[in-house]
Amino acid sequence: MTDLVLSPAQRPLVGSVPVPSDKSIGHRALLLGALCHGKSRIAGYAGGEDNAATRRAFESMGVAFEVDKGEIRPRGVGLFGLRAPDRELDCGNSGTTMRLLCGLLSAQTFASRLVGDESLSRRPMLRVVAPLRMRGARISGEPHPTKPGDLTAPLRIDALAEDEHPSALEYALPVASAQVKSALLLSGLYAHGATTLREPTLSRDHTERMLLSLGVPLRTLGPMVELAPAGWNGMMPAFDVTLPGDVSAAAFLIAAAVTVPSSRISVRGVGTNPTRTGILEIARDMGVELVIEPQGESGGEPVANLHVGGSAIPHGAKVGGELVPRAIDEIPALCVIAARAEGVTRIVDAAELRVKESDRIAAMTDVLRAFGVPCEPAADGLTIEGVGARPLRPASIESRGDHRIAMAAAVLALAATGKSRIRDVACIQTSFPRFVGTLRALGADVAVEES
């Protein structure tokens, strides 16, 4: 088992660094590249464990990938060119891989089986399975161990007959979810009839942007999206795209600048899709010194350099409503900022955190308390009493196999009065393989130890 041992920061963190490419966009680029005609080029490919799970799944279904010097080139087989997988499809720890594949494979004329690691095998899947069943999918799973009536992986997807197709679907998502929305749109590529979806608030729209760029007959209006394939020939051309940097990874560097006083950190080439920038808006509203320098677009996604300073102490805030879906993956980093703020921060409307790679409400409550930050959990969020610039106490933290919990704890450790240990950090490879190297480049003292 690999641990991180972090010493207190002796000086401000300073530097200009990149972050790995956005894995949410990476999943979609790999998937759609596999369904296009011809060889696509995806530059800036970070190759984290989650994206690798998606790539391996398509290799099992006959799609070839060339990987070379930070780019990956899928040789697409077309919408109807996938073959029956030669083994069960292991999604690892990636909920995005499992849910998107669930939508795509529910429309195929071959059977498949989706499995995952222990963490993924506890995540609820009925939210995506139920609406797919409404349009004719044959999907079964295991009873969820703690949520009666729900189900989880392994998921068995039975084949459709040669003359069967997914039916039209009009569906209102009870909770905004980019994964559920994307799964339904992917099944809609094969449907006889339109797919019309409405969300209570707009979730991340990477799938819609990419489908539109490939000529798929899609239209959007706020939180409504419609895919009407009638008259469409089902052809998607190969594409060339450079993936933007992951704002979720950048959030931990923003938190690091806030954690260590007088720090000055620039993060280059970060994707600033407005459905993903909730954390940037929240940070600025809390008084974080954050400058967003636009750098144009990449593959239809806006990109910017972020410049963040640690001279000002942020203040507490209430975070809820439509901001939460746009910042749900960044809440652990937000908890770090809240810990270093003056005043109380209340995070509400975030019950989704309970069913991520870990129960992130419970996990962050334990992390914050271990470092001496008062925190009270609620069913849908946390209340954090910030300690401002006061030093934290050293802590020993279990990551729970969750990459974002491990990184949040590592950043908090920079403000402790002695060495802290973060246990079982191999999970960080999921989204930020160079996290340790990046912290070191900024001036942090981080040791990697085997325990």
Catalytic residue positions, numbered: 329
Q: Report helix, strand or coil for 146.
A: coil
The secondary element (H helix, E strand) that includes residue 300 is: none
Contacts of 148 (CB under 8 A, 6+ apart): none
Q: Is 182 left (phi over 0), alpha (psi -120 to 50) or beta?
A: alpha
Tokens for 371?
A: 């470092």
The secondary element (H helix, E strand) that includes residue 397 is: strand 396-398
Q: How far apart are CA 415 and CA 182, in angstroms?
A: 40
Letter for the amino acid at 299? G
- Residue 353 DSSP label: G
- Beta strand 41-43 with 71-77: parallel, antiparallel or unpaired? antiparallel
Q: How far apart are CA 73 and CA 42, in angstroms?
A: 6
Closest CA to 242 of 16, 24, 25: 25
Burial of 202 (0-12, 13-18, 19+ CB in 10 A): buried
Q: How far apart are CA 11 and CA 365, in angstroms?
A: 28
CB-CB contact of 198 with 223 (8 Å)? yes
- Residue 245 DSSP label: B
First CA to last CA distance, the chain:
5
Closest CA to 399 of 390, 409, 389: 409
Contacts of 67 (CB under 8 A, 6+ apart): 45, 47, 73
Q: How far apart are CA 174 and CA 172, in angstroms?
A: 6
The secondary element (H helix, E strand) that includes residue 354 is: none
Tokens for 182?
A: 């994307």
Letter for the amino acid at 252? F
Closest CA to 167 of 121, 213, 135: 135
